[in-house]
Structure 1
Amino acid sequence: MFAYKSRILAISIGSMLTLASCNAQDSAKSAVAPAVSAISTAAIATVNGAPISQTRFDFLLKQSQQQGQPDSPEVRKSLRDKLIIEEILAQEAAKKGMDKLADVNTQIDLARQTILIRAYLQDYVKNNPLGDDVLKAEYDKIKAQMGDKEYHARHILVEKEAEAKDIIARLKKGEKFEKLAEKSKDPGSKAKGGDLGWAAPSNFVPEFSAAMTKLQKGKYTTEAVKSQFGWHIIKLEDSRATQAPPFDEVKQNLRQRAQQQQIDKMISDLRAKAKIEETGVTEKK
């Protein structure tokens, strides 16, 4: 299928940057919230003599507030009931010996490790802030890669050159490009008449870009264009000066992307320093 390069700025700085950097952002959002300042050892309830700590309740209350829930008697009662039910179920599971099961303990170990990792990444991001000057430099770099023009194109992608030649012949006879696009191998555009929307040439593979930028408005390629994905027939709907979103509009997405790059480098450096011995067999037998 036609895998386009990630779209620069309007999409690169928007959705792609969100895609490219979501690990760092998700880690910060889902990391364990800092412990409440006043930790109490008091219990909010007991279940069969086992206490449910005030600390656990305060932690859940803080999480609830961070998710937009107001602090109200109803919310507090709901959280207390939740903790009580969970304690009852946990005790029942322990009675059945489920706390001794290997799979259960493996999941507990993995959950603990995940929480530690998230807390570490949250701390790393907090202690390695990125200034606007760094983000502006990245913005300018991506903006330069876009060039001064963007194009609105359609395409039909087929597997064989003979298929492409047949489609071109039918276009010459007056058949509609949008209708013939239903034969395209590209699932992302075939239902839209082959429409690819507005994009910079750098978003596409070189063969595609070279052919597209040579077309006049409203014209299509009279020879099939070969790429790693198959054979393309390209139609140019229009072109215009590049319209980059303002820096302030995309700054947060740029920050997420840069943070992810920071984290990737940090992980790479830590791995390089670590003494790793691969001793077990992980390959499929």
Structure 2
Amino acid sequence: MLTSPRLLASSTFALLLTGAAACLAQTPPAPPAGIAIPPAPAAALPTVNGVAITERDVSAALAELSEAIEGVPEATRRTQLIDYLVTLKVVAAQARKEKQGEGPDFEARSRFIIDKMLTESYLRSAVAKSVTDEAVAAFYKDQVAASPSEVEVHARHILLSTEEDAKAVVAELKAGKDFAELAKEKSQDPGSKGEGGDLGFFPKDRMVPEFAEVAFALDPGKWTETPVKTQFGYHVIKVEERRQTPTPPLAEVDGQIRTYLARKTQAELVQKLREGAQIEKK
């Protein structure tokens, strides 16, 4: 069974963590009073069988193992990353001696991994160039701030299973009964019954059309004298208030805009490259 490079890296690194934890568990003796301990120097970069480990290697390992080292103290993180790289080079050298890196399957897998890394790097670079603060601000101005604000209503309802029961509730309302109290007493909607039928604020497209059309036609403080039939039963609806939804500030939607623009940039770029490529299907 093939093991992914990321899983192999994580498992190898986990073994290193185990060894490091055992060493850290041994508490060193306290220094004599009055003697200052100099800070530990940054771990030096070794060579393995004549092959140098570079700062770029350490950075690459840090990026690849970012999740695995989250719980590692920062003071020992660099040392353990370097230990991992030493292990990697020692084992990889032996694998090369045994010709583990040869054969069409290994070559195909290597090409796939390299192509994937190149694709991710290229798309990240394209997004970084395209999705700038200026692009986000322009999208916000054109698509968010310029859009008409949405109307919402704050409504209550009393849901009954029959039209006869709903008409009886309307009669009680006309006689002066409180809407919220009647909802608590008689509504068959378990989600709003305990709140006096309160549905809060909602836009028109959140409710089924039959309900929404009537609710958005009512003036605040008014209720329906004719029960409204929907797939759920018969509703008596009261509108408490109406409002225009405020436009969210840029800071509130900045992340959403960046995500949208990044996906749009990538999709358009990929489509353009595919259209310009010679793709032959056999």
- TM-score, scaled to structure 1: 0.51
CA distance in 2, matches of 1:269, 1:239: 46
Report what 1:76 is aligned to: 78
Verify: 1:166 aligned to 2:161, yes or no: yes
> Cα deviation per residue 1:237-265 (whole Å; 9 max; x = unaligned)?
65323122223432343233233223222
Verify: 1:214 aligned to 2:217, yes or no: yes
> Cα deviation per residue 1:132-175 (whole Å; 9 max; x = unaligned)?
3343112224x32x43x22346899xxxxxxx972776666656
Report what 2:125 is aligned to: 123
1:163-242 paired onto structure 2 within 5 Å: 166=161, 176=184, 180-182=188-190, 198-201=201-204, 209-215=212-218, 222-225=227-230, 238-242=241-245
CA distance in 1, matches of 2:95, 2:198: 55
Q: CA deviation at 1:273?
A: 2.6
CA contact (8 A) 2:131 2:261 kept: no
- TM-score, scaled to structure 2: 0.51
Q: CA deviation at 1:118?
A: 1.4
Report what 1:13 is aligned to: none
Report what 2:60 is aligned to: 59
> Unpaired segments of 5 or more residues in structure 1?
1-41, 157-163, 280-285
Q: 1:60 to 1:274 in 2, by over 3 A?
A: same
Counterpart secondary structure, 1:224: strand
CA contact (8 A) 1:155 1:196 kept: yes
CA distance in 2, matches of 1:178, 1:267: 58
CA distance in 1, matches of 2:199, 2:50: 61
Q: 1:86 to 1:204 in 2, by over 3 A?
A: farther
Q: 1:52 to 1:118 in 2, by over 3 A?
A: same
CA distance in 2, matches of 1:232, 1:99: 72
CA distance in 1, matches of 2:124, 2:70: 20
Report what 1:4 is aligned to: none
Verify: 1:247 aligned to 2:250, yes or no: yes
CA contact (8 A) 1:211 1:225 kept: no
Q: CA deviation at 1:108?
A: 4.8
Larger Rg: 2
Counterpart secondary structure, 2:152: strand
CA distance in 1, matches of 2:145, 2:62: 43
> Cα deviation per residue 1:208-247 (whole Å; 9 max; x = unaligned)?
6434423566858933346xxx989696665323122223
Provide the aligned length of Structure 1 versus Structure 2: 217
Counterpart secondary structure, 1:276: coil
CA contact (8 A) 1:152 1:239 kept: yes
Question: Quick one: which of 251, 275, 278 aligns to 1:275?
Answer: 278
Share of identical aligned residues, percent?
22
CA distance in 1, matches of 2:107, 2:233: 53
CA distance in 2, matches of 1:112, 1:155: 60
1:99-114 paired onto structure 2 within 5 Å: 108-114=110-116
Q: 1:211 to 1:257 in 2, by over 3 A?
A: farther
> Cα deviation per residue 1:170-214 (whole Å; 9 max; x = unaligned)?
6666565997445x9xxxx9xx99987644335667666434423
Query: Aligned partner of 1:56: which letter?
Result: D
> Unpaired segments of 5 or more residues in structure 2?
1-43, 170-181
Q: RMSD of aligned C-alpha atoms?
A: 5.3
